[in-house]
């Protein structure tokens, strides 16, 4: 699967990626994740805070529900995860978040 082609075709704002993320823990002002916590599959949107999609390098995801890590992947690694059915790409069809699996 060529993830960048799907993003270009449907638009970055319309892509939802379901991927395993770990919950965030907090001690004072420090947030962290623990490998002891089981990952939870969460819907995530693509954010370009640190990496731009056009650079074809890395992709950062932001879970729609707060309290989870913001995972970062090499684009090729995320494509492999999707191809192995450990993550899935969905496209939002409208404001009601009717999702269609790609």
Give me 70's structure tokens: 């913001």
Return d(Cα 40, Cα 80) in angstroms, integer: 19
pLDDT averaged over every residue in the chain: 87
Q: What is the pLDDT of residue 26?
A: 83
Q: What is the mean pLDDT of residues 56-69?
A: 93
Residue 82, pLDDT score: 93
**Does pTM surpass 0.85?**
no
């Amino acid at each position: 699967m060529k993830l960048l082609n799907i993003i270009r075709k449907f638009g970055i704002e319309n892509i939802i990626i379901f991927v395993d993320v770990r919950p965030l823990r907090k001690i004072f002002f420090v947030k962290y994740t623990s490998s002891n916590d089981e990952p939870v599959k969460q819907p995530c949107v693509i954010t370009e805070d640190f990496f731009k999609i056009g650079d074809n390098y890395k992709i950062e995801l932001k879970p729609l529900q707060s309290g989870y890590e913001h995972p970062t992947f090499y684009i090729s690694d995320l494509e492999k995860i999707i191809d192995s059915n450990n993550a899935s790409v969905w496209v939002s069809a409208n404001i009601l978040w009717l999702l269609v699996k790609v």
